[in-house]
C-alpha cells in the first residue's frame, strides 16, 4: 500500500458480487449474500474480502473494524461467519 500511496480509507470493503464485479457490494440476507442487481446468491462472498484485508491492511482485525469493513451491522452474524471459517480469535472483540 505504501509503494502505490494507497491509504487505508481508500480500500473499499464489503462482499462483492462475482457476476457484477468489484463495483457492486452484496447484501447479507437470510444466511447468504445477495446481489441487488443480478440477484446472484452466495454463501461465502465474505471470504475473499477477509483475505484481501489480511494481505493489504493487517492479519488481525477487531469486531468493530470487521463490522465496518464488511458493511454489516449484526455482530452475531459476523461471529457466526468467523466461527464457520475456523479463524482463531483472542479476547472478546
| pLDDT tens profile 55-75 | 888 898 888 888 889 888 888
Residue 60 CA to residue 3 CA, distance in Å, equals: 21
pTM of the full structure: 0.81
The answer to whether residue 20 scores a pLDDT higher than 90 is no
CB 34 within 8 A of CB 26: yes
Model pLDDT, residue 12: 82
Q: What is the mean pLDDT of residues 13-23?
A: 84
Taking all residues of the chain, what is their mean pLDDT, rounded to a whole number?
86
Residue 37 CA to residue 70 CA, distance in Å, equals: 19
Amino acid at each position: 500500500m505504501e509503494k502505490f500511496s494507497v491509504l487505508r480509507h481508500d480500500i473499499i470493503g464489503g462482499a462483492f458480487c462475482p457476476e457484477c464485479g468489484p463495483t457492486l457490494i452484496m447484501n447479507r440476507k437470510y444466511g447468504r449474500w445477495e446481489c441487488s442487481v443480478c440477484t446472484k446468491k452466495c454463501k461465502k462472498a465474505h471470504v475473499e474480502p477477509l483475505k484481501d484485508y489480511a494481505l493489504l491492511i493487517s492479519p488481525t482485525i477487531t469486531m468493530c473494524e470487521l463490522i465496518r469493513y464488511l458493511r454489516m451491522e449484526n455482530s452475531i452474524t459476523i461471529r457466526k461467519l468467523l466461527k464457520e471459517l475456523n479463524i482463531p480469535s483472542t479476547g472478546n472483540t
